[in-house]
Structure 1
Amino acid sequence: MRAGTVAPRVGVMKAISYSRYGGPEVLEYGERPDPKIGPDAVLVKVRAASVNPVDWKCQAGYLDGMMDAVFPVVPGWDVSGVVVRPGVSVTEFAEGDEVMGYVREDFLSRGTFAEYVAAPVRTLARKPRTVGFEEAAALPLVGLTAYQALHRPLAVGPGDTVLVHAAAGGVGSMGVQIARHLGCRVIGAARDAGLERVAELGAEPVRYDEATFADQVRALAPQGVDAVLDTIGGPFLRISAGLLAPGGRLASIADGEVLALGGRYFWVRPDAADLAALADLVDEGVVGVRVARAFPLEQAADAQRANAAGGLNGKVVVTVP
């Protein structure tokens, strides 16, 4: 066994799970069977997992029309940890490799809020060398969402002016950093508490106020913006559609109304190459992520409540000894 490798438990593991839809109160901490490892997956000893709004939205049943839930469900899609056993067909990773992943399958059941997770190799990349497990766990979903949206439906490049919504939040802050790395001028929208953070990231801040928002953006970009990355939907999405320059692109991760406005409704997907590129950007000092609070695995319900409450100016993670 390689140095630093952790031997897997035999038979059972500790995990968070829920057996019915609901809020944090339905989460239970207890034993679950060890994951089975398919030929194209690896067994990962979880060191940290990130809490995202989609976790508690899935748990509440909001995505029931889209994704089957195989109860009991272990929540969580973000993870960082150590490979303890590769599947028989896996050549990409070996025992002892430190990895991070966006381990989303097409159904809800085998999540990352557990001591171990079976992760398909298409969902993983090596952990950035320059950050710890908590920061690495906080990166995949928010980082991949911003990276993929800016590269694909929005296709931004040098000289573009990009409006990023909730620019102090998880996806938004990554969007600001990646867009600036791509040579864009960035206008970042935020509530009052986030305006300083937006400026720190190198964007030009604008304040959320329905009455003045359009005028604030037009004062900075009189000819319109080339792209809008929407993360909140609602009235500010509709206002943003009217701020596009000719040929401008609009994408939302939050509101299907974007389709009626001529834009793209975008969902992040697991992609090992994109995740590896994101890890490189972290190691190069181009992007970073803040961890606001960390909770032990058995306190996952409290971690979920903290994420839902917002206002933390950083990510919430759960940690596994």
Structure 2
Amino acid sequence: MLALNGSSSWPTFSFIGIPGLEAAHMWISIPFCLLYLIALGGNVLLLILVRVEQNLHEPQFYFLAMLALTDLGLSLSTMPSVLAIFWFDVHNIGLNACLTQMFFIHTLSSVESGVLVAMAFDRLVAICAPLNYNRILTHCTVACLSGAALLRGATLLAPLPFFLRAFPFCGTNVLSHSYCYYPDMLNLACGDVTFSSVYGLVCVLCTFAVDVIFILISYVKILGTVMKLGFQDRNWKSLHTCACHLCTVLVFYLPLISLAVLHRYSQETPPILYTTMSNAYLLMTPLLNPLVYSLKSKQIQAALRKRFWVQRVVAGE
């Protein structure tokens, strides 16, 4: 049975803001709010462009739309708790709400990793087997790959909330982030958490570790194909189409790996660095992905120019 916390039979958890800067939280909320608005607006714009532009009705842009949808979910999962701290000085959250937020954060992160693998497979087929591209990457294949990423994330991570509900929380229950994160909550649980900790590690290995290996193998094959065909302009242009995906992979995995390392050495990590990396992990990916594709993808740039031109013509400018 869960330990009592205050007058409630269910524990509550406390978020931290930015240690040492509590008096400036209202001012800090301004850039955070702007970043969230840019992230939400950018990903919605990508979804609209893929929906309305016929020349974007290709597998790579369908995967991009799935990525944008996942980023929207991640932003909406963390935004309430982050902005509540800065705007209203609300630091507490109940167990059920915390478990729900945690489930969506981890599931959507797993889905995003799976979509990145699907995008790497798309680039692999486009460069290494261009004549069979339309035969291999059909609408059915795209739907199956996207569905598999979603099903894997939801299935593997569904037990995590139930594991945590089985433990009593008998401490101060202060979380290290501005949102609910499984390793963070597990550190606060009382009792033997060995199995739950091992299961969390298995989830990481079955998702992020496996996905990184698949992405690396894909790019080794892509680079080998380009080098074997010679350093011609056409081959370098084909390799350039991977630039957006590579930037997205780095934007997603670098904060994720950094946060995992910080959790490993949490006792030696300055609180301000810990808080900064934890916010960067889930805020920078939704923020930067639309910017990367807007700056690097010629098709997205053409679609944006077309939409902007149409709007100006309609407005009579």
Q: TM-score, normalised by structure 1?
A: 0.25
Q: Which has more radius of gyration?
A: 2
More RCO (CA 8 Å, sep 6+): 2
Structure holding more helix per residue:
2
- When normalised by structure 2's length, the TM-score is 0.26
